[in-house]
């Protein structure tokens, strides 16, 4: 009789232990899954690093537009023939005219030229609009000649309002300025004559 009672107690204890273990296991899974899930990038984070498609149909010669890529402003400048000539004019005054010292990303091979653009669209400059000194956004100063905070022989380009660094119309920094390097050129490609994808080229995404 005693043995039967012991069997019932042992059986009840086993049932209680199994139930407790299962409940604990479920609780463990419930706390682990959200923790693991937190390592996955959010939709916003994915979007911030994704390539950006830009329609430049209405970008007239001599005008500039700014888009966001990876949380940074990126310029797209449609340069005129005069502006391209100004790039050549600026060469002797530049700290790194051949962009041999990239800033935060490697220079795409197809932009290793005087205009820092694709040969088939040499008029279009695509550059990260972040000063290589302390990260301010330079402003467009396309007009040539003397003007406030610029030299009398100014060929046209960009002026950083924070500490006076200047860049030519290819985003190359002038000599003796606080900014140590040229503006970054991101990877980009044309998917049609009027559409650019920034952050992706023939080699894949950046």
pLDDT, averaged across the chain: 83
> Per-domain residue ranges for the chain?
1-40, 46-205
Q: pLDDT higher for 192 or 13?
A: 192
Please tell me the predicted confidence (pLDDT) of residue 21.
43
User: Can you tell me whether residue 158 is helix, strand or coil?
Assistant: strand
Q: pLDDT higher for 137 or 20?
A: 137
How would residue 204 be classed by pLDDT, with cut points 50, 70 and 90? confident
Please tell me the predicted confidence (pLDDT) of residue 44.
57
pLDDT at 14 over 70: no
- The H or E element containing residue 201 is strand 200-201
Q: pLDDT higher for 37 or 144?
A: 144
| The residue to which tokens 């009840």 are assigned | 12
Query: CA-CA distance, 125 to 109, in Å (whole number)?
Result: 15
Q: pLDDT higher for 107 or 19?
A: 107
44's CB contacts (< 8 A; 6+ apart) are none
Please tell me the predicted confidence (pLDDT) of residue 140.
95
Please tell me the predicted confidence (pLDDT) of residue 41.
38
Global pTM exceeds 0.85: no
Please tell me the predicted confidence (pLDDT) of residue 48.
60
Question: Do 183 and 116 meet the contact criterion of CB atoms below 8 Å apart?
Answer: no
Give the CATH superfamily of 46-205. Rieske [2Fe-2S] iron-sulphur domain (2.102.10.10)
Other residues' Cβ atoms within 10 Å of the Cβ of residue 185? 25
| The residue to which tokens 């396309």 are assigned | 142
pLDDT at 7 over 60: no
Helices of type H across the chain: 2-37, 43-49, 81-90
Distances (CA, A) of 26 to 31, 33, 34, 196: 9, 11, 13, 50
Percent of the residues in the chain that have a pLDDT greater than 70, as a whole number:
77
Mind listing the pLDDT tens digit for each residue in 135-186? 899 999 999 999 988 999 999 999 999 999 999 999 999 999 999 999 999 9
């Amino acid at each position: 009789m005693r043995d039967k009672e012991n069997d019932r107690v042992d059986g009840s204890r086993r049932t209680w232990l199994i139930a407790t273990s299962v409940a604990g296991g479920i609780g463990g899974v419930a706390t682990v899954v959200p923790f693991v899930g937190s390592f996955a990038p959010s939709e916003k984070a994915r979007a911030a690093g994704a390539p950006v498609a830009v329609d430049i149909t209405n970008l007239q010669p001599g005008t500039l537009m700014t888009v966001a890529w990876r949380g940074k402003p990126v310029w797209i400048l449609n340069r005129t023939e005069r502006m391209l000539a100004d790039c050549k004019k600026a060469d002797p005054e530049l700290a790194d005219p051949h962009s041999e010292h990239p800033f935060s990303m490697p220079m795409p091979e197809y932009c290793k030229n005087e205009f820092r653009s694709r040969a088939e669209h040499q008029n279009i400059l695509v550059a990260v609009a972040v000063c290589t000194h302390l990260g301010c956004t330079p402003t467009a100063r396309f007009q040539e000649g003397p003007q406030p905070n610029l030299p009398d022989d100014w060929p046209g380009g960009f002026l950083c309002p924070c500490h006076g660094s200047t860049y030519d119309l290819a985003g190359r920094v002038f000599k003796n300025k606080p900014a140590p390097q040229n503006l970054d050129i991101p990877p980009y490609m044309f998917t049609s004559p009027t559409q650019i994808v920034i952050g992706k080229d023939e080699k894949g995404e950046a």
